[in-house]
Amino acid sequence: MKILIVGAGGIGGYFGGRLLEAGRDVTFLVRPRRAEQLAKHGLSIRSPFGDFDHPSPRLIQASEIRDPYDLILLSCKAYDLDDAVQSIVNAVGPDTAILPALNGMRHLDVLDERFGAHAVLGGLAMIASTMDDDGRILHLNKVHLIVFGERDGSRSERIVAIEAEMARGSFDSRRSDAIVQEMWEKWVFIATGAGITSLMRSTVGDIEAAGGASFARNLLSECAAIATATGFPPSDASLERGRATFTEPGSSLTASMYRDIERGGRTEGEHILGDLLRRGHDASLTPLLHTAYTHVATYEVRRARLAAERDNGLQGS
């Protein structure tokens, strides 16, 4: 199977690297800066499940793509989706399967409109990972799972082939017959985690110690209510996992959105919190989610303003 990995960061670099480690036919579509890093340092993974280094993974730029791929793993940030869609146009043929591992659900609408719903699978990744200054991928926990499936729940020939291909990698993978339901459950989970840790600017354990457990539980309930109203009520098991995770005493857990804020970077607040809020239609019924979204949106406005001021200062100097 000819596989194109869009992005070589914490998700694409990790799962693509593990497939490369297993001898699969993997090419990474990366931007020039990441290509320079990989050319200099190679692809490096540091993980509790074993390290992996490849000195020269196969790289490609969008302008160099000539032929379609069998499988495209889309692992970009949600705010880079439009650019990513444009970059893979020449890689998508009539039999190409696109497996997005983005957060939220808006990306399905975008991909469906551009490539047709038949080309787009459902998918999600569960992993905590980041990159250091040299571009090494650091696996931060002991979860490395990718889940995928046909959105209508069918067991197609291509999904069986993808299942076999993924099984060769040294990570956990599984086919789901209810992938859209699982994507909604993950969205509820990460919106709660992102909302609570970004708003309070601290770990789950610190929030719990400050008396914030009820806030976390109520935010989870608001997010779950939106999913339920949309036709995808989270299972009792997923809700119980959320309650336990976001109220655990002493937990060092933080969301990647909070970590993005801490380093002054761009966040997926619009896609994870804002889009979920809009799907609820009535913000008065989800005051905590509205507060969390407004907090992150204000951060983004301030970040953009300060960047513009710096640019204007440089231009005037």
Active site residues: 186
Rounded CA-CA distance 313/317 in Å is: 6
What is the distance between the alpha carbons of residues 200 and 193, in angstroms, rounded to a whole number?
11
> Residue 21 is encoded by which pair of tokens?
């480690």
Place of tokens 């719903």: 117
SS3 annotation, the chain: CEEEEECCCCCHHHHHHHHHHCCCEEEEECCHHHHHHHHHHCEEEECCCCCEEECCCCEECHHHCCCCCCEEEECCCHHHHHHHHHHCHHHCCCCCEEEECCCCCHHHHHHHHHHCHHHECEEEEEEEEEECCCCCEEEEEEEEEEEEECCCCCCCHHHHHHHHHHHCCCCEEEECCCHHHHHHHHHHHHHHHHHHHHHHCCCHHHHHHCCCHHHHHHHHHHHHHHHHHCCCCCCHHHHHHHHHHHCCCCCCCCCHHHHHHHCCCCCCHHHHHHHHHHHCCCHHHCHHHHHHHHHHHHHHHHHHHHHHHHHHHHHHC
Sign of CA dihedral 60, 66, 67, 68: positive
Length of the chain: 317
